[in-house]
Structure 1
Amino acid sequence: MTEASAQTSKLQHFPVPIFATIMGLMGWALAFHAVPDGMPLAGRLSSGVMWIGTAVFAGLATLYLVKLVRFPEAVRSEWNHPVRLAFFPAISISLLLLSTAMWAHFPDLAKGLWLTGATGQVVLTLAVVSGWISHRSFEVGQLTPAWFIPAVGNVVAPIAGAQMGFVELSWLFFSAGVIFWVVLLTLVFNRLIFHDPIPGKLLPTLVILIAPPAVAFSAYVSLTGQVDGVARIFLNAAYIFAALVLVQAPKFRHLPFALSWWALSFPVAALAIASFRFGGLTDSDVHTYIGYGVLVVLSVTMIGLIARTLLAAVRGEICVPE
C-alpha cells in the first residue's frame, strides 16, 4: 500500500468516538476553572487546557468534515452502528463545553458557540433517538452506558445557557436530558444485571454512569441559583455511581487501550466540578476536599490518556477498521 492510499484509508476509518477526547479536555479545563479562588495556577491551567482543546477540536472537526465529503458511506456506516451512533452528539456537546469554558473570557463568542452547539444538540438528539426507535431492532447486548451521551449533552446546555439569558430554552434542555437519563438508566441496568457482561473493550464506558447526575447538579444549580433537596439528590447519585464504578475499576487494569478509555475523562471532570460547586455554595470543606481529590485523579487520568493516545496514533492504532 502506498503512503497516499494508507492516508486515505486512515481518513476513511477516522472514528466519531474520537470527539470524546474534546469532552475530556473541556471537562478538565472547566474542572480547573471550578477550583476555589486563591489558586492562580488553576486559572492558568484552565485557560491553557481550553486553548489546547479548542485547537484539537478544530483539527478533528476538519478531518471529520473531510471524511463526510469524501467517504459519506463510511459516515453512514458509523451512523448505523449501534454503539457509535451515540457518539455523534459528542460533537455538539464539545461545542457546548467550549462555549461554557469561553464564557468568562469571550462572552460574545461563547454565545455564538452555545447557539451553534445547542442547535446541533437538538438535531442530533432527535436524530439519534429516532434512530433508536426506528424500524430496525437493537439487541440488548448492543446497549452500553455510551447511550447516555445524548442525554448528557442536554443537561450540559443549561450550565452556560442559563447564565447567557437562555433560561426557558435551558429548562427545555434540562428536562429532556433528565427524562432520557432516567429512561436509559433503567435500560442500562437491566442490561448490566440480566444479560451478558459488557465486552472488555467497552468496559470503561461504565464510568459514563457518573456523568448525567453530576452534570445535572451543575445545570440545576445554574438554573435555580440554589442548592436544595433536588440538587443534593443529583450530586449524591453521582457519588453513588462513582463508588459503583470504583468497585469495578480493578477489571480495567489488563484491558488493551482503545478510544473507549476516554470515557473515563469527562464523567470524572463533571464530578470534580459538582463537588467544588457544592462546597463553594454550602461552605462544605468536605466537598471541596473531595473536589481536589477527584481533580488529582482526573489530572493523572488525562495525562495518561493523552500520552497513550499519542502513542497509539504514532503506532497507527487509531484509524483502523474494527
Structure 2
Amino acid sequence: MEPSVEKAPRLQHMPISFFAVVMGLAGLTIAWEKAQHLAGVDLHLDIPLAGITLAVFVVLSGLFAAKWVRHRPAVMAELHHPIKLNFFPTISISLLLLAIVFLPLAREASHVVWFVGMGMHLLFTLYVVNIWMHHERFEVHHVNPAWFIPAVGNVLVPVAGVPLGHVDISWFFFSIGMLFWVLLMTIIFYRMLFHHPIDEKLMPTLFILIAPPAVGFIAYMRLVGELDAFARILYFSALFLTLLLLTQTPRFFKLRFFLSWWAYSFPLAAISIASLLMFEKTAASAYAWIGGVLLLVLTAVVGMLIALTAKAVIAHKICVPEH
C-alpha cells in the first residue's frame, strides 16, 4: 500500500504545463525533418524522434487522465487558475504538432490527429477567452507570455490543415491567431514595461513571444505559397524577438530550473524552421546559416532540458505542492 500512497500526491500535483515537453520534442522533430529535406540527406532521425515524441505524449496523457479520474478537484482548480488555465491548450497543440510530425510518415493517421487537435483547440480557445472576458479576480500581474498559448496557438492549424485539403478552416484559425497576437502582444508589453517584472518561475515564457510570428510565417506560407511583404514582416518580427531574447541569455542562465524552461524549446524550433523555409524560398545562404545554427542550439537546449527534467523528477522536485 505504501507505493500507492506515495504516488497519489505526486499525481495530484502533476502540472498541466508538462505537455510543453511534447511541444518541444515535436518542434525538434519537425525542424530536423525540414533540415534533412533541404540538405537532401536522410540521417534516419524522423522515425526515432517521432516515436519518442508520440511515446511522451501517450505517457503524459495517461498520467493526466489518471489525475482527472483520481484528483478531479485539482484539475478543476487548474482550469480556473489565472495562469495555469492557459497551459491546457498545450494538449491540443501537441496533437496539432503530432499531425505535422506524422504528415510525411502516416498521412491518414495525421489527418485523424489533426481533426481531433483542431476541434479540441477551438473548444479550449472559446473556453479560455470566455474566462478572460468574464473573470472577477484577474490582475495585471497574472498576464504573461503563456497567454499566447490558447488563442495564438490557432496559427498552427494551417501547417497540416492546408496539405490535408482544409483551406477555409485553416484561414479561419489563422485569422483567430493573428487577431489575438496583436491584442495580446500589446497587453503583455504594457504589463512588462509599466508593472512589476515577471516572476522568476515564468521568465522562460518570454521565449513564447517568438512563436506567434514564427509559426504565423510558416502557416502563412502554407496558405499563400509566396514570400510577399506580410510574410517578410512575420519572419523578421520573429527574428528580431529571437535576437532580443538571445541578448538576455546570461539573465536566463541565472534562473533556477523549473518545468517552465521547456518554453525555450518550441519557439526556438519555430524560428529554426522559419529560417530554413526562408532559405528554401530565397536560396540566400544567410538563412541556411541562421536556420542551421538555431537548429544546433535547439538540439543542445532540448538535450539539456531532458537531462534537467529527468534529474528533477528523480529528485522529487516536480509534481510537488507549490509553496
Give the TM-score normalised by structure 2: 0.97
The CA distance in 1 between the partners of 2:247 and 2:302, in whole Å, is 20
Q: Is the 8 A contact 1:92 1:153 kept in 2?
A: no
Gaps of 5+ in 1: none
Aligned residues: 320
Deviations 1:150-204 (A, max 9, x none): 1342001101101100000000000000001110000000001000001111111
The CA distance in 2 between the partners of 1:175 and 1:238, in whole Å, is 18
User: Are 1:124 and 2:133 an aligned pair?
Assistant: no
Cα deviation, residue 248, structure 1:
2.1
The one-letter amino acid paired with 2:14 is F
The CA distance in 2 between the partners of 1:284 and 1:179, in whole Å, is 31
Deviations 1:251-297 (A, max 9, x none): 11221111100000000000000000110111111111100010010
Partner of 1:138: 138
The CA distance in 1 between the partners of 2:310 and 2:301, in whole Å, is 14
Moved over 6 A (4+): none
Partner of 1:181: 181
Q: Is the 8 A contact 1:151 1:212 kept in 2?
A: no
Aligned-partner SS, 1:85: helix
The one-letter amino acid paired with 2:132 is W
The CA distance in 2 between the partners of 1:64 and 1:250, in whole Å, is 34
The CA distance in 1 between the partners of 2:186 and 2:114, in whole Å, is 30
The CA distance in 1 between the partners of 2:58 and 2:152, in whole Å, is 22
The CA distance in 1 between the partners of 2:274 and 2:2, in whole Å, is 50
Deviations 1:277-319 (A, max 9, x none): 1101111111111000100100000000000001111111110
From 37, 40, 58, give the equivalent of 2:39.
Answer: 37
Matches within 5 A, 1:1-322: 2-35=2-35, 36-41=38-43, 44-322=44-322
Aligned-partner SS, 1:137: coil
The CA distance in 2 between the partners of 1:191 and 1:46, in whole Å, is 40
Deviations 1:33-72 (A, max 9, x none): 111132211xx22321111010000010011011111111
| Deviates further, 250-259 or 306-315 | 250-259
Q: Is the 8 A contact 2:99 2:113 kept in 1?
A: yes
Deviations 1:215-273 (A, max 9, x none): 00000000111111110000000011111111222111221111100000000000000
Gaps of 5+ in 2: none
The CA distance in 1 between the partners of 2:9 and 2:213, in whole Å, is 39
Cα deviation, residue 132, structure 1:
1.1
The CA distance in 1 between the partners of 2:288 and 2:135, in whole Å, is 48
Give the TM-score normalised by structure 1: 0.97
Q: Is the 8 A contact 2:152 2:176 kept in 1?
A: no
Return closer, same or farther for 1:124/1:70 CA change in 2, 3 Å cut-off: same
Identity of aligned residues (%): 45
Aligned-partner SS, 1:40: coil
Q: Is the 8 A contact 1:155 1:215 kept in 2?
A: yes
Q: Is the 8 A contact 1:68 1:75 kept in 2?
A: yes
The one-letter amino acid paired with 1:79 is L
Aligned-partner SS, 2:162: helix
| Deviates further, 247-256 or 156-165 | 247-256
The one-letter amino acid paired with 2:203 is L
The CA distance in 2 between the partners of 1:99 and 1:204, in whole Å, is 26
The CA distance in 2 between the partners of 1:58 and 1:170, in whole Å, is 26
The CA distance in 1 between the partners of 2:203 and 2:156, in whole Å, is 24
The CA distance in 2 between the partners of 1:61 and 1:211, in whole Å, is 24
Cα deviation, residue 17, structure 1:
0.3
Q: Is the 8 A contact 2:89 2:150 kept in 1?
A: yes
CA RMSD in angstroms, aligned pairs only: 1.1
The CA distance in 1 between the partners of 2:82 and 2:143, in whole Å, is 8
The CA distance in 1 between the partners of 2:293 and 2:232, in whole Å, is 20
Aligned-partner SS, 2:45: helix
The one-letter amino acid paired with 1:184 is L
Cα deviation, residue 26, structure 1:
0.3
The CA distance in 1 between the partners of 2:33 and 2:135, in whole Å, is 44
The CA distance in 2 between the partners of 1:102 and 1:85, in whole Å, is 28
The CA distance in 2 between the partners of 1:79 and 1:247, in whole Å, is 35
Aligned-partner SS, 1:262: helix
